[in-house]
Amino acid sequence: MPKLLSVLLLAALLPLAASAQAGPPAKPQTSAAKAKPSTASSTAPPVDAEGHQWWQHAVFYEIYPRSYADSNNDGIGDLPGIDSKLDYLKRLGVDAIWITPCFPSPQVDFGYDVSDYEDIDPMYGTLSDFDQMQRDAQGRNIRIILDFVMNHTSDQNKWFIDSRSSRTSKHRDWYVWRDGKGPNQPPNNWLSTFGGSAWQFDGKTSQYYYHFFYPQQPDLNWRNPAVKDAMFGVTRWWYDKGVAGFRLDAVDTLFEDPNLHDNPVLPGKNAFGDPKMKNEYNDKLPEVHDVLQGLRKVADQYNAVLIGETWTTDIEELNKYYGPTSNELQMPMDFLFTTVNKLSPPDFRKQIAAANSASGWPVYVLGNHDIERSYNRYGDGKHNDEIAKVMAGMYLTLRGTPILYYGEEIGMQNNDPKTRAAVKDPIGRRGWPDEKGRDGERTPMQWDNTPNAGFTKGIPWLPIPVSYRTHNVASEQKDPYSILVFYQNLLKLRHTNRALLDGDYVALNEDDPNVLSYLRRYKDQAVLVVINMSPQQQEASFDLAAQGFSATQAKTLLTTMSSVKSQTALSDMTLAPFSVYIGEVSNTAITPIHKP
């Protein structure tokens, strides 16, 4: 949602000054060092001559399990439901699925409040359902990535239940407990990003505990070596079950200033009516990098990938998450990309160039379960389907790994609640009407045009927008011009074309305000991508001599335009409104092909 996004972004965009004041990082020995040797080697075998790893060639796909497919018709998606859709995912061209939390949870934050890290919530199935899904995925060469909610647990987690039971309990220091400043006065002015004070008074022991998110999500104390050991052990437990990596939730907020300095207050109020604040002392503290380096050591033993929910201000900040020697996250998500909220070639050019200058492999996302769907954010209300293809044509042909959000491939749109009473996401109730919550982008996957879009025979947990009648998998599969078929063709091309997999990114025609063009260049082979982001027809012309290509024609590989020849003159290209052209240029003779 725009509001939440702006809250998160505000936190991210504020300069960081906490480092100097923050206390010395706890330096316990990491459990990684003590880990028993695993079967997988710590140096992952590259998949190509460029030394690329599996995750650099993979297409990732985020699944919100509540909303994907409901196998037992209770209105909530589940793991057997996901299992039943693996063939669909394979056909789409997905290599890895990231499943958002499916662990036991009171579901206050719909799974991001974990009460047991080593089990499956009964509403999603059982551990044996997980194993079955894992085996079925493996059989199709689809890897499974789980969500690692490491900043906080549920208040119903046994660790927290023990922690709050007494000041001397075994798990007391697993969380952040402090005395208030006085009666009814929290320890400092820090705010929860979900509204209100970040401190919750607990009568039993007369102290406050810290929660960056909901009060039901107490923050773990990562300065405690026992927390680190337990949490590292969780990742190992799932790796041993065969998962291929984790998406690390909320890494920015893992540490807080132990001296609890007040954060600077800014002018104005946020959607929750709280003063705006610069999260100087509880966001992006440097200690997080020690933890990430430790987690990476464990991951490397399993050839696993770590993806980060990293809300960074700029590429310099993003670079820190790759680690000083590429020893932290392989895939910190570049959310800066999602902040280009208009179809602007100059803005995207800038952002793509920045991503390509990063110290690690770029990771592109257009949307996720916390952000308004890309179909709405980029759509103009009239040409949304064409624009959905334009966006795919761009981010699926860039140098880097894309992470799709389920439903994006069929043009699913937001379905925001109409009334406060209809809201399920607690921030939407608290922040209504400025903040409507994130229900809108989390609605059930649209499989066909039968009632409830084929998601369930029960009552879906969130209402499905009427657009499911046209925007669903079954109907789009039959239409060669649908968004879905375009995604399938594009991902197929991406998997088989060397230049798209491994080529450099070379910006072209950088002054063009309407058409975004670039080459993906690999040795004497290149793919030319030309994207008209405007509602008017545009002309484009390319001289690739400077890039070492004498070719005057491109061989058409894929396009959204119906009247394009199999070979197109580079000097004279006509682009339909909101269109994508992808063609091959090489220095060898071009052989004619059939019309795509």
Binding residues (CB under 5 A) for Ca ion: these are: 70, 72, 74, 76, 78
Answer yes or no whether residue 219 interacts with ligand GLC by CB under 6 A.
no
Q: Which is nearer to ligand GLC, 213 or 337 (CB)?
A: 213
Q: Which is nearer to Ca ion, 129 or 416 (CB)?
A: 129
State the Cα–Cα distance between residues 227 and 499, nearest whole angstrom.
Answer: 44
CB of 152 to ligand GLC, least distance (A): 7
Residues 6+ apart with CB under 8 A from 307: 60, 98, 145, 245, 246, 247, 248, 329, 330, 331, 332, 333, 363, 403
CB of 212 to ligand GLC, least distance (A): 8
Pairing relationship of beta strands 96-99 and 60-63 according to DSSP bridges: parallel
Cis peptide preceding 218, ω within 30 of 0: no
Q: Which is nearer to Ca ion, 59 or 76 (CB)?
A: 76
Q: Which does 250 bind (CB under 5 to 8 A by kind): ligand GLC, Ca ion, none?
A: ligand GLC
Q: Which is nearer to ligand GLC, 154 or 532 (CB)?
A: 154
CB of 122 to Ca ion, least distance (A): 10
Q: Which does 483 bind (CB under 5 to 8 A by kind): ligand GLC, Ca ion, none?
A: none
CB of 437 to ligand GLC, least distance (A): 10
Pairing relationship of beta strands 553-559 and 567-569 according to DSSP bridges: antiparallel
Q: Collapsing DSSP states into helix, strand and coil, what is residue 559?
A: strand
Three-state SS string across 128-177, please?
A: HHHHHHHHHHHHCCCEEEEEEECCECCCCCHHHHHHCCCCCCCCHHHECE
Q: Which is nearer to Ca ion, 78 or 435 (CB)?
A: 78
Q: Which does 209 bind (CB under 5 to 8 A by kind): ligand GLC, Ca ion, none?
A: none
Q: Check: CB of residue 145 under 8 Å from CB of residue 247.
A: yes
- Nearest position to ligand GLC, beta carbon: 112
Active site residue 317: no
Return the ∠ at Cα 293 (arms to 290 and 296), rounded to 5°.
150
Please report, as residue ranges, which positions from 535 to 564 form the binding site for ligand GLC (by CB under 6 A).
none
State the Cα–Cα distance between residues 219 and 198, nearest whole angstrom.
Answer: 10
CB of 452 to Ca ion, least distance (A): 12
State the Cα–Cα distance between residues 145 and 248, nearest whole angstrom.
Answer: 10
Work out which of 213, 337, 364, 486 binds ligand GLC, going by CB under 6 A: 213
For ligand GLC (CB under 6 A), the number of binding residues is 9
Answer yes or no whether residue 369 interacts with ligand GLC by CB under 6 A.
yes
Q: Which is nearer to Ca ion, 74 or 131 (CB)?
A: 74
Answer yes or no whether residue 502 interacts with ligand GLC by CB under 6 A.
no
State the Cα–Cα distance between residues 106 and 121, nearest whole angstrom.
Answer: 9
Answer yes or no whether residue 109 interacts with ligand GLC by CB under 6 A.
yes
Q: Which of 62, 78, 256, 309 is catalytic?
A: 309
Q: Check: CB of residue 494 under 8 Å from CB of residue 501.
A: yes
Burial, 76: exposed, middle or buried (Cβ in 10 Å; 0-12, 13-18, 19+)? buried
Q: Which is nearer to Ca ion, 222 or 461 (CB)?
A: 461
Work out which of 76, 79, 250, 391 binds ligand GLC, going by CB under 6 A: 250
Burial, 57: exposed, middle or buried (Cβ in 10 Å; 0-12, 13-18, 19+)? middle
CB of 393 to ligand GLC, least distance (A): 27
CB of 61 to ligand GLC, least distance (A): 16
Q: Which is nearer to Ca ion, 68 or 177 (CB)?
A: 68
CB of 71 to Ca ion, least distance (A): 6
Residue (of 89, 81, 66, 91) closest to 137 by Cα position: 89
The letter for the amino acid at 516 is L
Q: Which does 439 bind (CB under 5 to 8 A by kind): ligand GLC, Ca ion, none?
A: none
CB of 76 to Ca ion, least distance (A): 5
Answer yes or no whether residue 112 interacts with ligand GLC by CB under 6 A.
yes
State the Cα–Cα distance between residues 154 and 116, nearest whole angstrom.
Answer: 9
φ, ψ at 508 (rounded to 5°): -125, 160
Q: Which is nearer to Ca ion, 69 or 519 (CB)?
A: 69
Q: Which does 74 bind (CB under 5 to 8 A by kind): ligand GLC, Ca ion, none?
A: Ca ion
Q: Which is nearer to ligand GLC, 287 or 309 (CB)?
A: 309
Work out which of 83, 309, 317, 441 binds ligand GLC, going by CB under 6 A: 309
CB of 195 to ligand GLC, least distance (A): 12
Answer yes or no whether residue 62 interacts with ligand GLC by CB under 6 A.
no
Q: Check: CB of residue 443 under 8 Å from CB of residue 98.
A: no
Please report, as residue ranges, which positions from 132 to 161 form the binding site for ligand GLC (by CB under 6 A).
149
CB of 443 to ligand GLC, least distance (A): 15
Q: Which of 249, 283, 290, 386 is catalytic?
A: 249
Answer yes or no whether residue 95 interacts with ligand GLC by CB under 6 A.
no
Active site residue 274: no
Q: Check: CB of residue 542 under 8 Å from CB of residue 517.
A: yes
Q: At 527, list the tokens.
A: 């793919």
Work out which of 129, 249, 385, 416 binds ligand GLC, going by CB under 6 A: 249
Q: Which is nearer to ligand GLC, 307 or 412 (CB)?
A: 307
Q: Which does 72 bind (CB under 5 to 8 A by kind): Ca ion, ligand GLC, none?
A: Ca ion
Using only C-alpha atoms, what is the Rg of the chain?
24
Q: Which does 205 bind (CB under 5 to 8 A by kind): ligand GLC, Ca ion, none?
A: none
Tell me how far CA of residue 277 lies from CA of 280, 342, 375, in angstroms: 9, 27, 31
Residue (of 379, 368, 505, 391) closest to 441 by Cα position: 368
**H or E segment and range at residue 291:** helix 288-301
Residue (of 310, 315, 261, 262) closest to 288 by Cα position: 310
Burial, 186: exposed, middle or buried (Cβ in 10 Å; 0-12, 13-18, 19+)? buried
Work out which of 116, 229, 370, 434 binds ligand GLC, going by CB under 6 A: 370
List active site positions: 249, 309
Residue ranges that bind ligand GLC, judged by CB under 6 A: 109, 112, 149, 213, 249-250, 309, 369-370
